[in-house]
Chains A and B, each alone.
Chain A
Amino acid sequence: MQVDTTSKSPSQGILRSALDAILIPFLAILTAVILGGIIIAVVRGNPFLAYYGLIQGSFGSAKALSETAVWATPYIFAGLAVALAFKGGLFNIGAEGQLALGAVFSALIGYALPEWLGRDIPLIIHLPLTIIIGMAAGAFWAAIVGFLKAYTGGHEVINTIMMNYIALNTISYLLNGPMKDRDPNNVIARTPLIADSARMPAIFEGFRIHWGFVLALLIALLVWWILNKTTLGFEIRTVGSNPDAAKYAGINVKRTIIITMTLSGMLAGMAGALEVTGLNFRHELGFSIGYGFDAIAIALLGKSHPLGVVLASILFAAMRNGATRMQFLTQLPVDLISVLQALILLFVAADAIIRYIYRIKSKGERVVLTRGWGG
Chain B
Amino acid sequence: MDLRRFGFILLVIIVLFGVVVYIGEVKVAPIVIITSMLATTIAVATPLSLGALAGLFCERSGVVNIGIEGMMLSSAFFGWLGAIYMYHVFGFPIGVSVWSGVFFAMLSGMLMGLLLAVLSITYKVDQIIGGTVINILAVGLTGFLNRQLFFGRGSVFGGHVPNSPGVLPTIHVPITEIFSPLCGSSADCLQVVTSINKVFDQKPIAISAILLVFIAHYVIFYTRWGLRTRAVGEHPKAADTVGINVIKMRYLSVTIGGALAGLAGAYFTIESVPSFEPLLTNGRGFISLAALIFGNWTPIGAWTAALVFGASQALNINLQLFRDVIPPQLAFLQQSYVVGLVPYILTMIILTGIIGKTTPPAADGVPYEK
7 A-B residue pairings within 8 Å (CB atoms): A152-B352, A162-B345, A289-B279, A338-B143, A349-B119, A374-B360, A374-B362
Nearest Cβ distance between residue B114 and chain A, in whole angstroms? Answer: 14
From A170, A331, A369, A374, B152 is in contact (CB under 8 Å) with A331
Cβ of B223 under 8 Å from chain A: no
For B120, give the chain A residue with the smallest CB separation: A350
Interface residues in chain A, defined as those with a beta carbon under 8 Å from any beta carbon in chain B:
43-45, 91, 93, 148, 152-155, 157-159, 161-166, 169-170, 172-173, 289-290, 293, 296-297, 300, 331-333, 335-343, 345-346, 349-350, 352-353, 366, 368-374
Is B347 an interface position by the 8 A CB rule?
yes
CB distance from A314 to the nearest CB of B (A): 19
Cβ A172 vs Cβ B337 within 8 A: yes
- Determine how close the nearest CB of chain A comes to the CB of B370; give it in whole angstroms: 15
A221 CA to B283 CA, complexed, in Å: 35
| B174 touches A (CB below 8 Å) | no
Contact residues in A for B140 (Cβ distance below 8 Å) = 335, 337-342
A153 to B360, CA, bound (A): 13
Tell me if B283 and A173 are in contact (CB < 8 A): no
- Chain B residues with CB under 8 Å of chain A are 64, 66, 119, 123-130, 132-133, 135-137, 139-141, 143-144, 146-148, 151-154, 279, 283, 286, 289-290, 293, 335, 337, 340-341, 344-345, 347-348, 351-354, 360, 362, 364-366
Q: How far is the CB of B227 from chain A (nearest CB, A)?
A: 22
Q: Which of B135, B144, B347 contacts A158 (CB 8 A)?
A: B347
Given A43-B152, A370-B128, verify A345-B293 contact (CB < 8 Å): no
User: Are B286 and A158 in contact, with the CB atoms below 8 A?
Assistant: yes
Give bound CA distance, A297 to B133, whole Å. Answer: 9
Residue from A152, A173, A339, A372 having most chain B Cβ neighbours under 10 A: A372
Q: What distance in Å separates the Cβ of A343 from its nearest Cβ neighbour in chain B?
A: 8
Among residues of B, the one whose C-beta sits closest to the C-beta of A155 is B351
Question: What's the nearest-Cβ distance from chain B to residue A292, in Å?
Answer: 10
A166 touches B341 (CB 8 A): yes
Residue of chain B at shortest CB distance from A161: B286
Residues of chain A contacted by B362 (CB below 8 angstroms): 374
Q: For residue B129, give the distance in angstroms from its CB to the closest CB of chain A.
A: 5
Nearest B residue (CB) for A300: B129
Q: How far is the CB of A75 from chain B (nearest CB, A)?
A: 15
Q: A212 to nearest B CB, angstroms?
A: 25
Chain B residue at smallest Cβ distance from A45: B153
Q: A162-B344, A169-B341, A370-B128 are in contact. Are A331 and B144 (CB under 8 A)?
A: no
- Identify the closest chain A residue to B151 (Cβ): A333
In the complex with contacts A152-B353, A332-B152, A342-B133, A162-B347 CB distance below 8 A = yes
Rounded to whole Å, the gap between the CB of A83 and the closest CB of chain B is 13
A297 to B353, CA, bound (A): 31
Q: Are A148 and B283 in contact (CB under 8 A)?
A: no
A274 → chain B closest CB, angstroms: 24
When A172-B337, A338-B144 are in contact, do A293 and B353 touch as well, CB less than 8 Å? no
Interfacial chain A residues near B344, Cβ < 8 Å: 162-163, 165-166, 169
Q: A297-B136, A342-B137, A342-B141 are in contact. Are A148 and B351 (CB under 8 A)?
A: yes
